[in-house]
Amino acid sequence: MDEGTAYGLAPATHDKALTEVGPGSPMGELLRRYWHPVGLAADAGATPKPVRALGEDLILFRDGEGRPGLVHPRCAHRGASLYYGRVEADGIRCCYHGWKFAVDGRCLDQPCEPEGGKLRDNVRQPWYPLEERYGLVFAYLGPPERKPLLPRIDVLEQLGEGESLEADDSSLGGGGPPVIPCNWLQHWENVVDSLHVPILHGVFSGPQFVPAMAQMPECHWETTGRGVRVTSYRDLDGGRRLHRVTEAAMPTLRVVPSPRLGQFGPVESIGWVLPIDDGSFRIYVAGRVKQPGDIGRMRSKMNGKFWWELSEEEHRAFPGDYEAQVSQGRIAAHSAEHLRTSDRGIALLRRFLREQLAVVANGGDPSGVARGAGADPLQHFANCGNFLAA
Amino acid sequence: MDEGTAYGLAPATHDKALTEVGPGSPMGELLRRYWHPVGLAADAGATPKPVRALGEDLILFRDGEGRPGLVHPRCAHRGASLYYGRVEADGIRCCYHGWKFAVDGRCLDQPCEPEGGKLRDNVRQPWYPLEERYGLVFAYLGPPERKPLLPRIDVLEQLGEGESLEADDSSLGGGGPPVIPCNWLQHWENVVDSLHVPILHGVFSGPQFVPAMAQMPECHWETTGRGVRVTSYRDLDGGRRLHRVTEAAMPTLRVVPSPRLGQFGPVESIGWVLPIDDGSFRIYVAGRVKQPGDIGRMRSKMNGKFWWELSEEEHRAFPGDYEAQVSQGRIAAHSAEHLRTSDRGIALLRRFLREQLAVVANGGDPSGVARGAGADPLQHFANCGNFLAA
Amino acid sequence: MDEGTAYGLAPATHDKALTEVGPGSPMGELLRRYWHPVGLAADAGATPKPVRALGEDLILFRDGEGRPGLVHPRCAHRGASLYYGRVEADGIRCCYHGWKFAVDGRCLDQPCEPEGGKLRDNVRQPWYPLEERYGLVFAYLGPPERKPLLPRIDVLEQLGEGESLEADDSSLGGGGPPVIPCNWLQHWENVVDSLHVPILHGVFSGPQFVPAMAQMPECHWETTGRGVRVTSYRDLDGGRRLHRVTEAAMPTLRVVPSPRLGQFGPVESIGWVLPIDDGSFRIYVAGRVKQPGDIGRMRSKMNGKFWWELSEEEHRAFPGDYEAQVSQGRIAAHSAEHLRTSDRGIALLRRFLREQLAVVANGGDPSGVARGAGADPLQHFANCGNFLAA
């Protein structure tokens, strides 16, 4: 009799607590204890820009005096969208009846009301605080009393001779288009899944980076206080040995040294995986570059083409991170997985996330949150990178 | 600590009783006590035309003897759509097995049955009664025993020298395409929201009509027995004063004088806001014109273009009623609104609608229903219009 | 007072037990006791091909040694899709971490694990057994212990002089495109609905086949042990009489002689109606032909054009089986039907299906299942066809 057929297979399910990010969900609340990038600095301007983060639709703008603002899209008056609003010196004005709001949501004018609205202080447009750093606009969508300091990151602060910082919003490292239609965790787990590299990026899509990366590495995983770090060992020409250190750190940092091994030393760039909602994400990156535009030049090509230039036949002949992760489904079916020893990074990262979920559920501050007088927001990632050992 | 942020914001909800129109819903039952236009007279012809009204899909046609018919789309026999039916002298015939139905749903033929169906009188295609007036086809979708007389309207009956009547189905006054993808009430409330005019149609989209309309008016609202009327006062050149009287009347009439102030006197046209379903509507208009085609020439342009010719940038630079109302959401989030003194028309209209809902719930006839011997279906709107005072 | 209007009409419902085919549904379980075609022989090749049958998504391929395979699309390891897999000599390999599976789901390699996965025998990719016959690939999606023999069919086994077999996957007889967006039963019932022919294919779409078929036939229906058979009698020129015998047989066979009456004798082809899911189906056909390509030439044209070449106006002027059946709705609304004497074939077929559902519910084998030593899988359909009587 046939064994192991698909007949009677239980419907597959995903781990909701680890993946779903909307308001009030466990992971949504955990992620809301951190700052997340929601745009490049230039995205905050005189034209209201719709952004979507953690399942919330918002409008990003910058008032005439240079202050960035992030507000609920529907006007507090009658709900017309501030997408059609006009940005003025001190705020954004709704097109329908002209209510104007400051970047912190205060109502500055109600022109159809006597005296511009004697009670206008009684209403406030829902808003979120923003800070700008490294060319990115960061938002805090969490409980106000828990707002941490916006972290500084050592490898983005210490610029070498002739280096400058550059930011990118095109989901570098995602292997596809700027908005990737699957759950953020499928990508973030991939950061510590070092053994897929020689298969997906080697056997399947040719040596996609450099030949050495197609070598099956020896890996060592460890839980850090802020996530999971993996060190991959590979032999290089001339008896040298590559120690490649990669890390997934709270809240969604991808700390991945260049897979092209162009230079050795600490990691050049930091990525933030922004969950747009349960079923899509995008990646913001900030990095040290030698020449303007270097960040954009990090983008992989397959068969000499960008991802969006490939035919369906080429996507199948040269599958990459996008194809592997998106094809896991809108949210991966965890109930049907079979993790093995080579998936140790995934297992450690999920365990770490579950611990952090428990911390928040118990009223605590999750890992890496710096808050209050004397708190130090500097985070150290210089131990991640491509390093040479004799 | 930050105040008024969007964190923890309750999910917004809409007032279902005021907005939803499907069969059995409170507003659906209230609206079903009236006649509604479902097409131009020419829409009822030899080619079956799908129409959707109050959440119901129907087929409009006109038999060979000139009688208009409105029937359920699925054949009572096996459910094939009468969209593929053939219109004959005395009814419409289904393409699948040939059953033929008269405009009142009686089954006239079952050609696959012996003798054309000896028991064919036992089956009836679900149908609705129609009447034609002012170039429009009106349908009554309510309980048969409550069917009122189809109203006559004074300003459409009394034609001046050289005037004729013209009908339009392109949603004149809606500020967008013929089918507008939001709840009907968002538009109907706008009829008595006179203070948005100088903002949306003045400050934002230039003086869209004539300069005087960009003036902030003094408004006086009152509940009539059939809805809400607003009189807006503006100063004109030469010391004259404009009294502009606009009305929202049951069931969905928009009685809006021309905002171009081309002439003074009673309102030229009447609009009916037809709820297609909970999330879309269209407007039928009938009006007195001097020249054929005048009705179509009432359609607004922005930046010299029709709405459907505008780029997304132009929609944002010149937002109009469509942009304001559709951006309130498929159904506006009433729980998040903050009504003020300038929203008095909206508040009165909702209160009036709630009273009418209660009348129907208690078994009564709602406002304006004329029925039975001696009932007078004439409705008076000549007191609406643009009028000059010294 | 108006009678029979659509006011208060109860929402229409469909018979779930007769129509829905997903895993665990009554009809889904009944149909899963049989083999169904899921592709042409050529569809199983070196490029993984997505197929959907009975609501299940699967991947069809053929390994390098010629064995066809049908597996669950998501890799048992982490769920990446085998759509991006690579077909090798002995199986299909996932692009993400390289697990390889044989056509029977056994895991042959886990290249990221020590020794290729010492415990790889503990995991199995969900799969289904396949057999090839008549140019088609048949799959068995049911309980393994109930797997029947794949039937042989007399009229496809006994080839005449110069005849050969040909297979087709373009839904011949469906009257539309290869994938037809309505429930499979709407089409299958049509097989024994002989009286629609002179209406739909005669009165409406001209004599679509040959003039004789536009004649209203005399019909005799009977339940066979495997479904329903209908004999339609028509008078031909010269005093001859046509006996046309058509049958719907388990599980979804359409045994329909050519409506073009090109020759007399047993039926030339057999169709299998494959329920893709509850709301769509396709038809596979195998038949005896004189010349290669004859099967494709069986496809009907309307107004001299293939279905997909017709304008919307032409679809309405020349409605066929597609228009009639798809317009019944995604799943026909059985609660609103009115069956009459001419629908006897439909009534018998539903009664027969309900009996078969009961057999399966009671633990039995449904009609036509041949299993075990000595079972004879030959099915006889030579009594179906177009026959001449004096």
pLDDT in tens, B372-386: 888 888 999 999 999
pLDDT tens readout for residues A188-215 = 999 999 999 999 999 998 788 888 889 9
**Share of residues in chain C with pLDDT > 90 (%):** 89
Question: How, if at all, do strands A152-153 and A378-379 pair?
Answer: parallel
How many whole angstroms from its chain centre is CA B229?
Answer: 17
Provide the 3-class DSSP secondary structure of residue B196. helix
Mean pLDDT within C325-338:
98
Give the integer Cα–Cα distance in Å for C58 and C67: 16
Peptide linkage before C251 cis (omega within 30 of 0): yes
The CA-based angle A357-A359-A361, given to 5 degrees, is 65
DSSP per residue, B245-267: EEEEETTTEEE---TT--S-EE-
Q: Is C113 at the interface with chain A, CB within 8 A?
A: yes
pLDDT tens readout for residues C267-282 = 999 999 999 999 999 9
Q: Is B50 at the interface with chain C, CB within 8 A?
A: no
pLDDT tens readout for residues A41-50 = 999 999 999 9
Q: How far is B271 from chain A (nearest CA, A)?
A: 22
**pLDDT of the residue at C197:** 95
The CA-based angle B185-B190-B196, given to 5 degrees, is 150
Provide the 3-class DSSP secondary structure of residue B206. coil
Q: Do C3 and B144 touch (CB under 8 A)?
A: yes
**pLDDT of the residue at A200:** 95
**pLDDT of the residue at A232:** 97
Of the pLDDT bands very low, low, confident and very high (cuts 50, 70, 90), residue A302 is confident
Q: Do C84 and A196 touch (CB under 8 A)?
A: no
pLDDT tens readout for residues B334-353 = 999 999 999 999 999 999 99
* pLDDT exceeds 80 at position B390: no
Give the sign of the dihedral formed by CA A286, CA A288, CA A292, CA A295: negative
Q: Which amino acid is at B264?
A: F
Q: Which amino acid is at A357?
A: L
Question: How, if at all, do strands B378-379 and B152-153 pair?
Answer: parallel
Q: Do B84 and C323 touch (CB under 8 A)?
A: yes
Residues from chain A that touch C123, judged by Cβ atoms under 8 A, are 338
pLDDT tens readout for residues C183-192 = 999 999 999 9
Burial (CB count <10 Å: 0-12, 13-18, 19+), residue A11 = exposed
pLDDT tens readout for residues C118-149 = 999 999 999 999 999 999 999 999 999 999 99
**pLDDT of the residue at A5:** 98
pLDDT tens readout for residues B151-171 = 999 999 989 999 999 999 999
The CA-based angle B225-B229-B232, given to 5 degrees, is 160
> Phi/psi of residue C244, each to 5°?
-110, 120
**pLDDT of the residue at C389:** 85
Lowest mean per-residue pLDDT among A180-194, A204-218, C24-38: A204-218
Q: Do A112 and B338 touch (CB under 8 A)?
A: no
How many whole angstroms from its chain centre is CA B209?
Answer: 23
Q: How far is A201 from chain C (nearest CA, A)?
A: 9
Of the pLDDT bands very low, low, confident and very high (cuts 50, 70, 90), residue C297 is confident
Is C178:C169 a contact under the CB 8 Å cutoff? yes
Residues from chain B that touch C202, judged by Cβ atoms under 8 A, are none
Provide the 3-class DSSP secondary structure of residue B293. coil
Residues from chain A that touch B2, judged by Cβ atoms under 8 A, are 104, 129, 144, 147
Q: Which amino acid is at C81?
A: S
* Best of A34, A59, A95 to mutate (most B CBs within 10 Å, chain B): A95
DSSP secondary structure code for residue A160 in this structure: -
Q: Do C95 and A323 touch (CB under 8 A)?
A: yes
Is A284:A37 a contact under the CB 8 Å cutoff? yes
pTM for the complete prediction?
0.96
Residue of C nearest to B76 (CA): C337
Q: How far is A171 from chain B (nearest CA, A)?
A: 25
Q: Could you give the ipTM of this predicted complex?
A: 0.96
Of B47, B84, B147, the CB nearest to C327: B84
Residues from chain A that touch C110, judged by Cβ atoms under 8 A, are 340, 342
Mean pLDDT within C249-265:
93
Of A8, A216, A333, the CB nearest to C74: A333
**pLDDT of the residue at B369:** 94
Q: Do C333 and B79 touch (CB under 8 A)?
A: yes
Of the pLDDT bands very low, low, confident and very high (cuts 50, 70, 90), residue C372 is confident
Which is nearest to C262 in space by CA: C291, C283, C284? C291
Q: How far is A380 from chain C (nearest CA, A)?
A: 31
Residues 6+ apart with CB under 8 A from A53: A36, A38, A139, A141, A274, A275, A276
Mean pLDDT within C283-295:
94
Question: How, if at all, do strands B68-71 and B86-88 pair?
Answer: unpaired
Q: Do A23 and B9 touch (CB under 8 A)?
A: yes
Residues from chain A that touch B3, judged by Cβ atoms under 8 A, are 124, 144
pLDDT tens readout for residues A33-73 = 999 999 999 999 999 999 999 999 999 999 999 999 999 99
* Best of A327, A341, A350 to mutate (most C CBs within 10 Å, chain C): A327
Q: Do A324 and C84 touch (CB under 8 A)?
A: yes
pLDDT tens readout for residues A90-99 = 999 999 999 9
Residue of C nearest to A195 (CA): C112
Is B57:B50 a contact under the CB 8 Å cutoff? yes
The phi-psi region of residue C383 (left if phi > 0; otherwise alpha if psi is between -120 and 50; otherwise beta) is alpha
Give the integer Cα–Cα distance in Å for A347 and A245: 18
* pLDDT exceeds 90 at position C99: yes
Is B126:B76 a contact under the CB 8 Å cutoff? yes
**pLDDT of the residue at C262:** 80
* pLDDT exceeds 80 at position A390: no
Q: Long-range contacts made by residues C186-190, C-beta under 8 angstroms, separation at least 24?
A: C186/C325, C186/C326, C186/C328, C186/C331, C186/C332, C187/C254, C187/C273, C187/C281, C187/C283, C187/C321, C187/C325, C188/C248, C188/C252, C188/C254, C188/C273, C188/C349, C189/C248, C189/C345, C189/C346, C189/C349, C189/C350, C190/C321, C190/C325
Task: List the 245-304 stretch of C: residues with Cβ below 8 A of B.
Answer: none
Q: Do A126 and B329 touch (CB under 8 A)?
A: no
* Best of B60, B92, B95, B115 to mutate (most C CBs within 10 Å, chain C): B95
Mean pLDDT (chain C, rounded) = 96
For residue C276, give both structure tokens: 């893709």
Mean pLDDT within B222-242:
95
Residues 6+ apart with CB under 8 A from B10: B335
Residues from chain B that touch A101, judged by Cβ atoms under 8 A, are none
Q: Do C78 and A343 touch (CB under 8 A)?
A: yes
CA dist list (Å): C315 to B83, B94, C306 = 10, 14, 11
pLDDT tens readout for residues A284-301 = 999 999 999 999 888 888
Lowest mean per-residue pLDDT among A7-11, A216-220, B262-266, C378-382: B262-266
Q: Do B79 and C7 touch (CB under 8 A)?
A: no
Is C52:C165 a contact under the CB 8 Å cutoff? no
Q: How far is A87 from chain B (nearest CA, A)?
A: 12
Q: Do C79 and A4 touch (CB under 8 A)?
A: no
Of B4, B329, B339, the CB nearest to A124: B4
Alpha helical stretches, state H, chain B:
16-19, 26-31, 154-157, 184-190, 196-198, 294-297, 312-317, 321-326, 344-361
DSSP per residue, C4-47: SBSTTPPPP---HHHH--STTSHHHHHHTTSEEEEEEGGGSSSS
Mean pLDDT (chain B, rounded) = 96
pLDDT tens readout for residues A159-172 = 999 999 999 999 99
For residue C63, give both structure tokens: 């390994």
In sequence order, what are the beta bridge partners of A24? Answer: none
* Best of B106, B112, B115, B131 to mutate (most C CBs within 10 Å, chain C): B112
Give the integer Cα–Cα distance in Å for A56 and C217: 64
**pLDDT of the residue at A385:** 97
CA dist list (Å): B265 to B235, B244, B245, B288 = 17, 10, 10, 12
Q: Do C327 and B81 touch (CB under 8 A)?
A: yes
Q: How far is C112 from chain A (nearest CA, A)?
A: 6
DSSP per residue, B307-360: GGG--HHHHHHS--HHHHHHTTTTTT-GGG----GGGHHHHHHHHHHHHHHHHH
Q: Is B342 at the interface with chain C, CB within 8 A?
A: no
**pLDDT of the residue at A205:** 86
Q: Do C96 and A216 touch (CB under 8 A)?
A: no
